[in-house]
Amino acid sequence: MIELERKLQKLAGEIRKKYENIKSKESTKVALTMPLLQALGYDVFDPAEVVPDYMITVEHQAPYTVDYVIMQGGKPSMLVACTHWGTNLDKEKNPLYEIFPLTQARIGILTNGVVYRFYTDSDKPGKMDAIPFFELNVMEVTDTSIDTLSRFLKHLFSLDALLPAAKELKREREKSIILRKILNKHAVHKKEFLIYIREDIFSSVLWSLMEFYKGVVVANGCNNFKRLEIFLFTMRCDLLIIDECYFESLDAFCEFIYTIQYSNAKFKILAIMSSQTDLEQVQRLLKKCDVIVDILVRPFTLKRMYGYVESAFGLKKPVETGVKHITNVQIKSGMILAENVYIPGKDEPLIECGVVLGDAHILDLIKHNISKIKVHEDSYKFINCWEFKKCTNFEDCPAFLNVDADGFLEGVNAGRACMYINATMDMCGGGRRYKSWEEKIKVICHDCDFYTMITTSNDNKIPPSAQLIEHMDKNVKKRKNMDAARNEFEQRKRTKGGS
C-alpha cells in the first residue's frame, strides 16, 4: 500500500511537469497511462500481459480497437480506453459501451491519463454499467482510493473477489453522484426543494424523482436523524415528506416528526399516515405538521379515470396525480376521495363536486383548512362515511363524487346526481361478491336518479361519456319490487320454519 501510494505521488509530480508538452492521445498513453499500469505491477512491454491496440473483429462490421487490454490466463481481463489528458470524460462518448459486450473482459477503464473510471457489468451481465464503480484522480489521491486501487495490483487481482466489492462500490458512488447533482442544482434553485425519506433509495423511483424535482436529498434509513440533520440545516428545504410505512411502528414515526420539530426546522412537513391512526394521535401530530393525509393518490389508476372526470366537470387541464404534483401544492389544502388524496396546485380549481367523503379525522382536517381551499360556488359538504346514510338532501350540491364507496350509497336517496367511480378493481363490497361491474353499480346506486360508471379494467372499454349516463327510473322500481318480493319470501320461510 505504501509503495503504491509512493508511485502515485511520483506520477502526479510527473504529470505537473509534463502536461504542457503532451499534445496528443498517443503522448498521453505513453507519458501517463503506461506509468500507471506499471505502478500496478503490469509489464507494459510484454504483449502476453498487456496488449496495445487490441483489435476486435465483428462480422459485417468494421473492427473495433482498444488502446490496451490486460490479459489474465490468456484471456482479456480488463479493457483500457484512452483519450487526451485535457478531455472532459463527462462529455466524451465512452467507446467501451460498444466494445465491452464483444469480449470476455469484466472490467472496463476509461481514462484521460489523469482521471481513471472503472466499470463492470453489475446491473446486467455482459452489458457495461452506465455508472463507474470507482473513479481515481491521480492528482487527488486519498487513502480510500488507494485501498480500492490496490485491488487491481497484479499480484492481488482476482475477479471473483473484485466483482462483489465492485457492486457495493457502485452503490456508494451512486450516492455521491446523487448528492453532487443535488448540491449543483441547489445552488440555482433554493426553493421547491424536497427531502424525501425512503429506504429503497436505489430503486428506479429515485431516478424518476430526480427528473421531477429541482433537488432530492435521500437519507439511508428513516431513523437516522443525525445524518439527515446535516442537510436540514445546510440547505433550504421547503417540504419534508415522511411516510409511516417506512417506520417500524407508529410511535417511531411520531417520534421522528417530534425530533425534527424540536430542531426548529423552517420547512413544511407532510406526514403520510395509515387510515387506522386514531384521531387523538392525529390531533397531536397536526400541531407539528402542516397537513396529514391517509395515502397519496394512486397514480396509475387515477390517471386512467381522470380523462373522463376532466370532461364531465369541465376542467381546463388534466389533473396531475402522484408524488410529482407535490412540488406546486398549497400544503394546507386538499380534497379527500375516500382513502385517496388529491392536492390541487396554487391556481388550480378543485373538481366541481358537492360531497367529500373521508374518515372523521381527515374531515376535521379539511374543515379546519376550508378557507385555504378554492371551492366552486361554496357548495361543499363534509360527511363522515359512516354517517352518510343519514343524509338525504343534496339540493345545493352540483354533483357527488366518491371513490371506492362500497356500501356507503346503499339505501341513500341522493336527490340529484351521483357519480360513482370504482378505482380499486375490487369486485367485493358491501359484504357480498358481485358477478359483474354492472351488478355492483346497480346494487350500490339503485336509489340514485342516475349514475355514471367508470372502470379501470383492461377488459372493460370506457364508452363515450354520453353513453355512460343512464336513467334509473325503471331500475329503481324493479329494485324495489325485487326487495319487496325477497322480504316476502324470507318472511314465508321464517314462518314455515317456525311452524
Paired sense of beta strands 432-433 and 428-429, if any: antiparallel
Q: How many CB atoms lie within 10 A of CB 55?
A: 10
Residue % of the chain over a pLDDT of 90: 13
- At residue 94, the pLDDT reads 84
378-417 pLDDT, tens digit per residue, is 333 443 333 333 333 333 333 333 333 332 332 222 222 2
**What fold does the segment set 189-293 form as a domain?**
Rossmann fold (3.40.50)
The region, left, alpha or beta by phi > 0 then psi within -120 to 50, assigned to residue 41 is left
- Are 2-166 and 189-293 equal in CATH topology? no
pLDDT tops 50 at residue 228: yes
Tell me the average pLDDT across 119-128: 87
Instruction: Count CA atoms within 13 Å of residue 354 on its CB side.
Output: 15
Architecture per CATH, 2-166? Alpha-Beta Complex (3.90)
Contact in structure between 342 and 321 (CB atoms under 8 Å): yes
Residues 6+ apart with CB under 8 A from 354: 379, 380, 381, 394, 396, 397, 398, 399, 400, 401
> What are the sequence ranges of the domains in the chain?
2-166, 189-293
Contact in structure between 205 and 197 (CB atoms under 8 Å): no
Most confident of 43-47, 85-89, 97-101, 311-315: 43-47
162-179 pLDDT, tens digit per residue, is 888 888 888 767 655 654
Contact in structure between 51 and 82 (CB atoms under 8 Å): no
pLDDT tops 80 at residue 149: yes
Q: In angstroms, rounded to a whole number, what is the distance separating the alpha carbons of residues 333 and 329?
A: 8
Rounded mean pLDDT of the chain? 57
Q: Which three cell numbers stand for residue 335?
A: 380534497
Q: Which three cell numbers stand for residue 268?
A: 413544511
Give the orientation angle of helix 204-212 with respect to helix 159-186, to 10 degrees: 20
Measured in degrees and rounded to the nearest 5, phi and psi for residue 470 equal -125, 135
Using a cut of 0.75, tell me whether the model's pTM lies above it: no
Residue with cell 360508471: 453
Contact in structure between 321 and 335 (CB atoms under 8 Å): no
Q: How many CB atoms lie within 10 A of CB 422?
A: 24
